[in-house]
Structure 1
Amino acid sequence: MFNRACLALALLAGVFVTVMSPGPAHAVTDSWAEWAPVSGTSNDYSTTMTQRSAGFPAAQMASDSRANVALPSGASTFLDASTPPGAKYGSSRNSAYINLRPKADTPTGASTTTYAFANPTPDTGWAFVLGDIDSDQVQVQATDENGEDVPATEISSWFQGPFNYAGGTDQPTWNPATSTLTGNPTATDTNGASGWYEPDIRLTSLTFVFTRRAGFPVYQTWFVSRARPIGGTVADVSTSGSCPVESSVLTLVSPYGETLATTSPAADGTYSFGDFATQDGYTVRLSQPDGCAIVGQTEATVSNRGEDGDPASRADFEVRQVIPQAISGTVRDDAGAPVPGATVTLTRPDGTTATTTTGTDGSYLFDDNAVGTGYSVTLTVPEGYTAGPDGTTRSDITVDDTPITDQDFVVNQLAGVSGTVTGGGSGLGGVQVRLVPA
C-alpha cells in the first residue's frame, strides 16, 4: 500500500459555517465533485477534491503520476444518463474529472494516487468511477475510519459493475481477490471502458495503484455524492403568553464536531438547514429566545440517510414563555399544626425585600418573581415559639420556569405556666407555689 508518510500532506481542516434561510424539504440533490487546480511536477502532484454535498469531508490528493496530469472540464467527455452512475446520480456533463498516468510507462512503473479525507467519509450516498481502463489496470485500496486497511472482500462489495460510457463494447473486468480492475485481454487502447463503486463504510483514505500494460495509458476518476435535507420544527407550547420561535437559533454540527450551519425557524416554527451529505451522526442544537425556556431536549442526533422528510432527519423541539414564578411554603409547629400570622420575608437577588404573613393554614406565597438565582426566605419566629431544628432561613433559591414550593419552616412551641397560691392562717407567710403545665 502507498507509504502512509504521504498521508501527512495537510488535510483541509477548516470549518464550514453558513447561515441558511428556512425552507421546506425537497428532492434529493446529487452533485459531481469539484477540484482545485493541480499543483506540482512530474511524479509529485497534488490537488484537493471536494464533494459538493455539504458536510462531506474534502480530500487532499497526492500522486506520483508522471506528467501530464490534467483536469478536463467534462464538456466533451462525461458520464451521461445512459451509464449506470449517470442514471443514478445524473449526468456528469460539465463537471471536471482528473486524468492520471503511470509513474513510468513500464510494467513495473505503477503510479500511486491517494485521497486522504479530512474526516471519515459517509458510509452511503457517494460513488467513484474509474474510466478508460483498457491497456492498463488499477488496484483499489482504502483505509477505514480507524485507519485500518480495508480487506479485499469489503472493497469488492462496492463494485457496481463495468460499463462503457462511449457506447462501445469494450469493458474491463474486476478481480475481487486482488481488488483490481483490468482492461481488455489484448491490452488494446479503446475508449470508454469503465467501472464504478459505492463504498458502504466510512473511509479515511482511498488509493489507486495504476499500472501500464501497453502503450501510454491514462485513466480517469470521477467522484459524486448525494445530499438530503435536515430540518424540523420548533413548537411554542406556552400555556400563558407566547414564545417567539422565530428568534430561536439552531446549529447543525457534523459527526466530528464541526459547525456546519445555523438557521432560525419561520414564524410557524418550521426550519431547514438545506441539503447535506447523507449520513447519520449529525447533531442539531437549539438556543432558545430570550424570555423562553426549552421544554425537553436541547439537542438531537439526526440521520438523513433515508428518504426526504424521514423522521430520523428531523429534530423537533418545544419552547415556552417563562412566567415569573411563585415561591411558597408553610409554617407549622413541632406537632404539625399550622402557625397562622407568622411573618415571612423574601429577599431578592437585588437586595429588595417583600414581607407577608401566613394564613390560617400556615401557608405563605410570594408571587411574580423574576428568573434568577440568590433568593432567600426568612421567618420571624412568633411569640410563644422557638426556632426549629432547620433554622429560620432558606437561602440560595433559584427561580426558573417552574414554581418554587416546599420552602417550609417548623417552630417549637414554648410550654405555658399557671398555678395557685395557698396559705395557712390570715397572712401570706408560708406561701407555697405549685407550677403545673397549662
Structure 2
Amino acid sequence: MVNSLEERLKKHANAFDGLLSLIPAKYYYDEDTSNQWKKKRKTKEERQRDKRRKLDPNTNNDVSAEQMMKKREKEAKPVVIPGQKEGSLKNESIEKKLQQSETIDTQAITLIYDDNGEILNKNEEKEAEDVESKIAEEKKKKAALNHEKNKKLAIEKSERKKKLTEEQKALKQKHLAELRSKLSAKITKLREQRKAPGTSVPGAPTSREQILEERRRKRELKKSNKQVEEEEEDDDDDDDDDDDDDDDNDEEDTERTSKPKELKKSDVFYGNITFEDGTRVTSDLTAVRKAKKKKGPANKDIGAHLKKLEKTRKELGKMDVDKRKRVENKSSWSRALASVEGEKVKDDEQLLRKSLKRKEATKRRTKREWRERKKDLHELMDAKQQRRLQNVWIQKENKRRGKKDQIRQLPSHKKLSRSNIKRARAGFEGRIKTGRGKSRGH
C-alpha cells in the first residue's frame, strides 16, 4: 500500500513538473516591478543589441516555470527548525554534495558521436555512470538518516508519555474525583434553591399533581405581573403628559429667581421621535418605548364609535362633579394631542350620526340595485328560453311547409339589445350642460 502510494505521488509530481516546464516563467511568476521607475531610457545602440539578442538562435531567453522554481529553491535560505540544527546541517552538506555532483554531471560530461551515432569517448561514458551511481548512493544514505531520526523522535515521545501517565495517574484520578464531587454539590444546591421535584427541601413538589399545580401557579403569576407592568406603563405616559405642563410653569418661575446654570446631560429633553414600526424614543434618548396596541373601535366602524360615546356619557353622568371635570379636562387634552399628531378624532356625535345615516343609505341603495339586477337577469334568461323554444318549433314547421310558406324566426337577444341602445355619433362632439339640466350639441 505504501509503495503504491509513493508511486502514485511520484507520478503526480512528475505530471505537475511537466506542466510547469511548459509554462513560461513570465506568465507563472509576476515580474519584478520594484525598479521599474528607476530604469533609464535605452540608447539606440542598446536597443539594437537587444534586438539582435532576441533573434539570435543560440541564446534561449524563454525560461520555464519549473526552471525558475529550481533556481529559487537553490537561492533560498535554508530553514532551521529549533532542536534540529545538527540534522539540518548534515542534510545541507548532503544537498551541497548532490548539487556539486549534478554540476559535474551537466557541465563536465560531454558525449561525442561519430557519423553512425556511436559514442567515440567511452571513458567519459564510464565516468558519467560512476557519478550517477554515487548520487543514487548519497540519496539512499540521506533517506536512511531521515528515517532513523524520525524513529528516534517517535520513541522519545512515547517514552515521555508513558513516564507521565505512570507518575501522575493517581493524582489525575484524584483531581477528577474532586471536580466531579464539586459539580454534583453545586447542582444539588441549585436544585434545592429552586425547590426542584425530587429534592428533600420543604415545599418541593413530590407528586405529579403538585408539579403541574406549581407550573400553573407560575404561569398565572407571570401573566399577572405582565398586566401590572402594562398598567404602570400607561400610568407613566399619562403622568409624563401632566408633568410636562407643571415643569414648564416651574421653569418659568425658577428662571426669574435663580441665576442661569450650566445644563447637564440629564437636564436636556427632546420631543417625540417615532419610527415606522410605531416605537418611540424617550425624552432623554436613553431608551426605546414599544408601540402600544390601539384600543377601541376600528376607524371605519362608526356604530362602535357612537356606542363608545354613549357609554362615556353614561359613566360621566354617574360621576361626581369634581371627578367629571378632571376626566373631561384629561379627555380634551388627549383629543388636542391626537389632533396635533395627525390622528382623526371621532367624538362629534352629530357628524357620526350623519355619516352613519349616509352609510346605511348607500347600503340600502346597493342592496336594491343588486336585487333589481338579479331580477333582470332572471327575466332575461326566461325570455331567451322562450325565444329558443319558439325558434325550434318554427324550424320544425318550416321543414313540413314549402319554400313560399316559410315562417320567419324570431331575432336573437343580441340583436334586440343592440337595437334598443342609442349610440353617440363618431367623433369628439362634446355637450354643454345648461342650468335646466338639458344638453345642447355643437
Name the TM tier (shorter chain): under 0.3
Structure that is richer in strand per residue: 1
Structure that is richer in helix per residue: 2
What TM-score, normalized by structure 2, do the two folds share?
0.18
What TM-score, normalized by structure 1, do the two folds share?
0.18
Q: Greater CA radius of gyration, 1 or 2?
A: 2
Structure with bigger RCO (C-alpha 8 Å, 6+ apart)? 1
